[in-house]
Copies of this chain bind each other. A is one copy, B any other.
Amino acid sequence: MSDLKLTMGNIEFDNPIWVASGTFGYGTEAPELVDVNRLGAIVTKSITRQPREGNPPPRIVETPSGMINSIGLANIGVERYIKEMLPIYESLTTKIIMNIAGTDIQEYIEILEMVESVSSVIAGYEINISCPNVKKGGMEFGVDCDMTAKLTDALRSRTDRLIIMKLSPNVSDIVSIGQASQDAGADAVSAINTVVGMSISAKTGTSDIYTTYGGLSGPAIKPVGLAAVHKLYQKLNIPIIGIGGIVNGQDVAEYMLAGAQAVQVGTANFRNPGISEDILSQLETFISESKWPSANDMVGQVKTHS
């Protein structure tokens, strides 16, 4: 087991299998089906300054080997998060990463400062920059290097905890956004968030998602996630956390070979809330049967032809 440990910033994680934001609730939802203390980390759902009801239904729909969601960041808001969730996390041995979302830099800062102002065990923050930036006419933060750098910098100066910038794949050049995050002091980047998609029922002639567009996730996007991680690994020297379509231990190995130090399991949790534990066992088996002495040794070691 010890060969799965990894360090990011000054935090040691038991293993590289984490669960992704928005796909595992607050980490407390399915206690009968999963032992969260076996996971490397739980990334909790995106928290905003104010509670958010989220979007009207329909919010999700299945697509070939994937799904689209448009939950609309439904969450309890940072105040209830601090009051209700942080105390629960004290009793867990798994690491907690709090995912933060905002529509302007000020909102991100406020949330982070509120959490920093209380004592808690959280290991760090994952910053969701795929939210429409109201100041910039609704374009996502995540498509703009300058905004990403400013945001990273503002948060960096306010915490010593881990800062992980979560990158959007819906950009012309994900590497430059990753670079901007690194240069502004992020400890790590995670990639990818969902891919913009749409689903239509031909029979009824209606959009399957209330907000028309939503985020595509699941095995369908694994190739997109792998490409993003591999490209980032070629240029960055901070750790990369791989996300997108992971459903088994072999997928994890692929992401680690591409350059991911850790991974997050998303959509697969919906099929089986305990799947991340299975994935962890599969990864252990994979490594023990492979030539790799440890998980860390695999990172970025994919052999390319050219």
Across the interface, which residues of B come within 8 angstroms of A254, CB to CB? 199-202
Instruction: Report whether B219 and A223 are in contact in the complex, using a CB–CB cutoff of 8 Å.
Output: no
A305 to B55, CA, bound (A): 11
Instruction: Report whether A63 and B223 are in contact in the complex, using a CB–CB cutoff of 8 Å.
Output: yes
In this complex, the member of A198, A199, A298, A302 whose beta carbon has the largest number of chain B beta carbons within 10 angstroms is A198
Across the interface, which residues of B come within 8 angstroms of A200, CB to CB? 226, 254, 257-258, 302
| A207 contacts chain B at the CB level, 8 A cutoff | yes
In this complex, the member of A64, A171, A219 whose beta carbon has the largest number of chain B beta carbons within 10 angstroms is A64
Instruction: Report whether A304 and B212 are in contact in the complex, using a CB–CB cutoff of 8 Å.
Output: yes
A 186-228 binary contact with B (CB < 8 Å = 1; else 0)? 0000000001111111111111011111001011111110110
Instruction: Report whether A198 and B172 are in contact in the complex, using a CB–CB cutoff of 8 Å.
Output: no
How many copies altogether? 2
Instruction: Report whether A222 and B306 are in contact in the complex, using a CB–CB cutoff of 8 Å.
Output: no
Instruction: Report whether A245 and B64 are in contact in the complex, using a CB–CB cutoff of 8 Å.
Output: yes
- A177 nearest CB neighbor, chain B only: B172
| A303 contacts chain B at the CB level, 8 A cutoff | yes
| A301 contacts chain B at the CB level, 8 A cutoff | yes
A299 to chain B minimum Cβ distance, whole angstroms, is: 12
A68 contact from B201, B205, B223, Cβ within 8 A: B223
| A45 contacts chain B at the CB level, 8 A cutoff | no
- A144 nearest CB neighbor, chain B only: B172
A246 to chain B minimum Cβ distance, whole angstroms, is: 11
Instruction: Report whether B212 and A216 are in contact in the complex, using a CB–CB cutoff of 8 Å.
Output: no
Instruction: Report whether A65 and B258 are in contact in the complex, using a CB–CB cutoff of 8 Å.
Output: no
**Which A residues from 151 to 186 make CB contacts under 8 A with B?**
170-173
| A294 contacts chain B at the CB level, 8 A cutoff | no
| A100 contacts chain B at the CB level, 8 A cutoff | no
Instruction: Report whether A198 and B226 are in contact in the complex, using a CB–CB cutoff of 8 Å.
Output: yes
A102 to chain B minimum Cβ distance, whole angstroms, is: 20
A207 to B230, CA, bound (A): 11
| A66 contacts chain B at the CB level, 8 A cutoff | yes
